[in-house]
């Protein structure tokens, strides 16, 4: 995708000359494969329009990126972690233990998780219940939790075709996986009554511990080959579907929208995933996207703050910007995020 050359008025996030006294002059970014295409577009445009080197952007998944981010402060650590979910308390703690204490959280917009299959295959209209009954390790049958016996989508839902269940889902290091577990599998578990049953039989000394145990049991997926974890990015998922036409893949909306010549998308709870249905909150499986910046690296790594501000500028992340064209749903509170980054406000409320 080509990126327009920005006008001078769009570059009021002025490009200043690089700081000389540093051993590293490129911003380094790693993390979410969902955020990767957006960050790559912005990095390329930043390099073209500013007097800083093009930032280095790597993938690896939200958890992997945040793990690297939390390794410490210094030129040998990354400056930004991309994430398709919010940073966890345990990750904030790990960061603090390694000296990463001032973190700037930047919400870039919203994305949806979609369920897509071969463009010439069967059409599907899913609910969370369908996915729970298809992929959960155990389902509730006649008041008991039993090993999942379903082999075809017709076994799950009589309205579906007798197509073998074969799902390609993000691996556990990806933020997309956590959203999928929470908003689809767990929601289906609750809808079928399985969660209530598991909670009633859960072990634990406190209600909180019992709830956690029930949730863990709900999202435990099959290990018989029906559900396949994809540790790479969405291109690997697409390749799996191209070699197995029965496969259903879990993708970010933006990736699907850039592969509509190969994929068809399913509805979820009757809603077609689109930038519009995500922006209005209609589509049930959507999530905010983030990146996290080490404040300690601002002023040390040339262009770090400028890159962060450029990423969330109206010209880039606004509703008429190139990221919107690529599938990002613009954040209605983008101006607040812009102010927070300008003030270098950290998650602890300090600036």
Closest alpha carbon to 3 in 62, 54, 64, 78: 54
Mean pLDDT calculated for residue range 320-346: 92
DSSP 3-state of 47: helix
Q: Which residue has the higher pLDDT, 34 or 344?
A: 344
The answer for 270, left when phi > 0, alpha when psi is -120 to 50, beta otherwise, is: left
- 225 within 8 A of 143, measured Cβ to Cβ: no
- 121 within 8 A of 262, measured Cβ to Cβ: no
- 31 within 8 A of 60, measured Cβ to Cβ: yes
DSSP 3-state of 273: coil
Q: Distance between CA atoms of 277 and 284, rounded to whole angstroms?
A: 9
Q: Distance between CA atoms of 345 and 342, rounded to whole angstroms?
A: 8
Q: How far is CA 266 from CA 51, 113, 229, 344, in A?
A: 44, 11, 20, 41
Across the chain, mean pLDDT equals 91
Q: Distance between CA atoms of 349 and 17, rounded to whole angstroms?
A: 30
DSSP 3-state of 75: coil
Q: What is the pLDDT of residue 128?
A: 98
Query: In 10 A of CB 309, how many CB atoms?
Result: 17
Q: What is the pLDDT of residue 19?
A: 36
Confidence band for 312, pLDDT divided at 50, 70 and 90: very high
Q: Which residue has the higher pLDDT, 185 or 332?
A: 185
In this structure, what token pair is assigned to residue 142? 């006649």
DSSP 3-state of 129: helix
| Helix or strand holding residue 304 (H, E) | helix 304-311
Q: Which residues contact 258 (CB under 8 A, 6 or more apart)?
A: 37, 326, 327
Confidence band for 1, pLDDT divided at 50, 70 and 90: very low
Closest alpha carbon to 37 in 258, 229, 286, 315: 258
Instruction: Please report, rounded to a whole number, the percentage of residues in the chain having pLDDT higher than 90.
Output: 79
**In the predicted structure, residue 219 carries a pLDDT above the cut 80:** yes
Q: What is the CA radius of gyration of the chain?
A: 22
Q: What is the pLDDT of residue 12?
A: 35
| Helix or strand holding residue 289 (H, E) | strand 286-294
Q: Tens digits of per-residue pLDDT, 125-138?
A: 999 999 999 999 99
**In the predicted structure, residue 348 carries a pLDDT above the cut 90:** no
In the numeric block, the tokens 């191209």 are attached to 242
Q: How far is CA 88 from CA 173, 200, 264, in A?
A: 13, 28, 33
Q: What is the pLDDT of residue 279?
A: 82
Confidence band for 6, pLDDT divided at 50, 70 and 90: very low
**In the predicted structure, residue 21 carries a pLDDT above the cut 80:** no
Closest alpha carbon to 45 in 84, 11, 12: 11
User: The whole model's pTM is what?
Assistant: 0.75
Mean pLDDT calculated for residue range 147-163: 98
Closest alpha carbon to 76 in 285, 266, 294, 226: 294
Q: What is the pLDDT of residue 178?
A: 87
- Provide the Cα torsion 81, 85, 86, 88; round to 10°: -90
Q: Which residue has the higher pLDDT, 12 or 156?
A: 156
* Minimum mean pLDDT range among 49-53, 67-71, 245-249, 321-325: 321-325
Q: Tens digits of per-residue pLDDT, 80-126?
A: 999 999 999 999 999 999 999 999 999 999 988 999 999 999 999 99
Q: How far is CA 205 from the centre of its chain?
A: 33
Q: Distance between CA atoms of 262 and 165, rounded to whole angstroms?
A: 20
Instruction: Please report, rounded to a whole number, the percentage of residues in the chain having pLDDT higher than 70.
Output: 93
Q: Distance between CA atoms of 309 and 317, rounded to whole angstroms?
A: 10
Q: What is the pLDDT of residue 254?
A: 83
DSSP 3-state of 307: helix
Q: Which residues of 117-150 are buried (b: 16+ CB within 10 A; e: fewer)?
A: bbeebbebebbbbbbbbbbbbbbbeeeebeebeb
């Amino acid at each position: 995708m080509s990126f327009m050359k920005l006008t001078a008025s769009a570059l009021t996030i002025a490009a200043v000359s690089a700081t000389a006294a540093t051993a590293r002059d490129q911003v380094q970014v790693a993390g979410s494969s969902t955020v990767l295409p957006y960050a790559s577009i912005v990095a390329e445009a930043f390099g073209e329009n500013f007097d800083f080197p093009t930032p280095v952007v790597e993938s690896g998944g939200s958890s992997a990126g945040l793990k690297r981010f939390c390794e410490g402060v210094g030129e040998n650590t990354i400056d930004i972690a991309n994430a398709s979910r919010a940073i966890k308390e345990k990750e904030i703690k790990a960061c603090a233990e390694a000296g990463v204490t001032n973190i700037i959280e930047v919400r870039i917009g919203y994305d949806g998780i979609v369920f897509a299959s071969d463009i010439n295959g069967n059409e599907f209209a899913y609910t969370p219940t369908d996915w729970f009954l298809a992929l959960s390790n155990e389902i509730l049958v006649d008041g008991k939790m039993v090993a999942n016996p379903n082999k075809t989508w017709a076994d799950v839902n009589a309205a579906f075709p007798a197509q073998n269940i074969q799902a390609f889902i993000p691996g556990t290091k990806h933020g997309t996986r956590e959203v999928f577990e929470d908003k689809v599998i767990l929601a289906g578990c609750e809808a079928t009554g399985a969660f209530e049953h598991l909670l009633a039989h859960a072990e634990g000394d406190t209600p909180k511990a019992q709830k956690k145990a029930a949730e863990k049991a709900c999202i435990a997926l099959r290990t018989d080959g029906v559900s396949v974890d994809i540790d790479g990015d969405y291109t690997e998922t697409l390749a799996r579907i191209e070699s197995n036409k029965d496969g259903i893949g879990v993708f970010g909306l933006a990736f699907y929208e850039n592969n509509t010549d190969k994929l068809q998308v399913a509805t979820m709870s009757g809603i077609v995933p689109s930038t519009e249905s995500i922006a209005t909150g209609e589509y049930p499986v959507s999530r905010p996207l983030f990146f996290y910046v080490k404040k300690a690296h601002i002023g040390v790594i040339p262009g770090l703050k400028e890159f962060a501000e450029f990423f969330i500028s109206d010209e880039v992340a606004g509703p008429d910007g190139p990221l919107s064209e690529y599938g990002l749903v613009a954040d209605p509170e983008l101006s607040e995020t812009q102010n927070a980054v300008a003030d270098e406000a950290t998650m602890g409320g300090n600036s």
